[in-house]
Amino acid sequence: MKATIKNFEIDLSKPIDISLPITNDEHNPIAWYQNAPEIQPVVMGDWIGKVSEGQSSTNFNNLFFNPHAHGTHTECLGHITKEFYSINQCLKQFFFGATLITVQPEKVSEDEVISKEQIEKALKLFHDSEMKSEAIVIRTLPNEVAKKSFKYSNTNPPYMSEEAALFLRESGIQHLLIDLPSVDKEKDGGKLAAHKAFWNVTDVNQLNKGARLNCTITEMIFVPNEVTDGNYVLNLQIASFENDASPSKPILYPIQ
C-alpha cells in the first residue's frame, strides 16, 4: 500500500520499527537505577484476571513502568521544567522528514561523546535540497543486539555534547532520536546541558522566550544494522499520556 507523505511516496507495508518494547523479563532494557517493569494480572480476592487461571474470561493486567527507564520513550521540555508540560499536548504532528546517521562516539577522558563535528559531517552526506529533515535518528557504534536488553545504570553510557545539541537546534531539527538512555551524561550533577540546548531552555523555573515546546527527544531506540543511513519518512507514535514523556513507537519508511 502506497502513500504520499511530505510529498514523498512511501510503502506503508514496509515499516521499520525502531522501538524497544516494554516487557517484564530479563530482555527489557533498564536505566536510571530502576527495577524491571511489572506486568501482572489484577487480583481481587479469589479472582485473578488471567484466562489461563480458569477464573476470568479476559486477561486483565496492571502495568508498572517508568517511561524514561524502561524502553523507547519520547519526551518534551516538560521533562526538565518546573512548570508542567505534557508530551500529549506538545506533540501534535506525527509524520516528519528524517535523516538516519551512524556515529562512533569519541573518547574524551573517561567518557564517550557525540560531537558537533561528527553530526555535521554525517548530515552533509545526506543533504537533499528537496527534503528538509525535521528529525534526526542517531545510531551509535558499536551497534550490538545487546543494546536491546542492556542494563545501563552506573555504566556511564555515551552522550551528546552541548555543542552538538545546539547545532541540531540551529539546523532546525525538531525531533531528536537516539539509541542511548539519555542525550546527557548519566551523572552530570543535574546540568542536562544537551537537553537544555536542544529545547532552548535557559531557565527551568520560568520558560524563556524561544523555548521549543513542539520539539521532542526520543531515547532508547534501536536501529538494526541492515537499515542504511539516509533519508526517510518518520512516523512518531506516542500513547496519550498527560506526562512529560510517553512510551513511543517510532517507525521509519524508506522513500520510494
Which pLDDT score is estimated for 231?
95
Helix, strand and coil content of the chain, in percent to the nearest 5, comes to 15, 30, 55
Q: Are 183 and 173 in contact (CB under 8 A)?
A: no
Low-confidence stretches of the chain (pLDDT beneath 70): 128-130
Q: Are 212 and 197 in contact (CB under 8 A)?
A: no
Contacts of 61 (CB under 8 A, 6+ apart): 39, 40, 41, 42, 49
Which pLDDT score is estimated for 1?
81
Which pLDDT score is estimated for 3?
84
pTM equals 0.96
Which pLDDT score is estimated for 244?
98
Joined together, the cell numbers standing for residue 37 give: 517493569
Nearest to 30 by CA among 183, 145, 149: 149
What superfamily in CATH does domain 2-21+71-254 come from? Answer: Putative cyclase (3.50.30.50)
Which pLDDT score is estimated for 34?
97
Burial 37-53 (b: 16+ CB within 10 A, else e): beeebeeeeeebbbeee
Structural domain spans, the chain:
2-21+71-254
Helix (H) / strand (E) containing 128: none
Beta bridge partners of 62: 40
Which pLDDT score is estimated for 5?
82
